[in-house]
Amino acid sequence: MSANVFLHGWGFSSKVFRHFEGIKIDLPYHGRSSLRYTSLDKLVEEIALRVPPHSLLVGWSLGGSVALLLAHRFPKKVKSLILIGTTAHFRRYWPEKNLRGFLLKVRQKRDSFLWHFRRLAYGREFTDALDIDGATELLEDYMNLNLFPLLPTIRKPVIILHGVLDQVVPLRAALDLYRRLPKAKFLSFAGGHFPLHEDTIRKVLKGVSQL
């Protein structure tokens, strides 16, 4: 039986989707996750075991990249995708000094930096458990992940939902993603990395469910 499956962004947890019905997965080191982490490929294999066939994947940021990997490797698990604040290659859109600085702040300032990042990315306060050291390893792998070679193979319907004021994943990253996915539609919203109003996501969910 198909389902809506929600995958959150780095530094958060499935709590960001708490008002939506479906399967909500905490990524390794986030929230109450029981998933072990050795690599993104192994993580996708573990998540695929929890995803029913023909599911709608809703992925935000890191979760969007995981959703794309899952659609590439396990196409029978996926009916369609909604990607929020997602990039095919995070490193491509930021100067190297910015990436090094971000990782340094995560390691040195830890909880204080995480608080500021969550406000920037989510637009409001967010609290849940995070293993900073483990999550930083996952973050580095995410920054290096290049999905561009895989995009032509993903022939499922995709809706890309992106904030015009996103300060984490630039708008042009979403447009590049849109141009390279064979069956993608692009929708923008007036906001940042995550919609402030959940109805923005609900409307897209309703539309995708009718495909």
pLDDT digits (tens, 9 = 90+) for 141-197: 999 999 999 999 999 999 999 999 999 999 999 999 999 999 999 999 999 999 999
CA distance 176 to 198: 25
The predicted pLDDT at position 2 comes to 80
Nearest in space to 137 (alpha carbons), one of 62, 50, 58: 62
Residue 169 is classified by DSSP as: S
The predicted pLDDT at position 207 comes to 84
What are the two backbone dihedrals, phi and then psi, of residue 21, each rounded to the nearest 5 degrees? -90, 135
CA distance 27 to 63: 8
- Spell out the residues 6+ positions from residue 73 whose beta carbon is closer than 8 angstroms to its own: 41, 44, 45, 48
The predicted pLDDT at position 211 comes to 54
The tally of CA atoms less than 13 A away on the side-chain side of residue 183 is 14
Beta 23-25 vs 4-7: how paired, if at all? parallel
- Rounded to two decimals, the pTM is 0.97
Beta bridge partner(s), residue 159: 82, 185
CA distance 51 to 78: 9
Do 93 and 176 contact (CB within 8 A), yes or no? Answer: no
Helix (H, G, I), strand (E, B) or coil at 87: coil
The predicted pLDDT at position 5 comes to 99
Strand order in the sheet with 55-60: 23-25, 4-7, 55-60, 78-84, 158-163, 184-189
Return the domain boundaries, the chain. 4-209
Instruction: Give, in words, the CATH class of 4-209.
Output: alpha beta
Chain centroid to CA 31: 15
pLDDT (tens digit, 9 = 90+) per residue, 133-145? 999 999 999 999 9
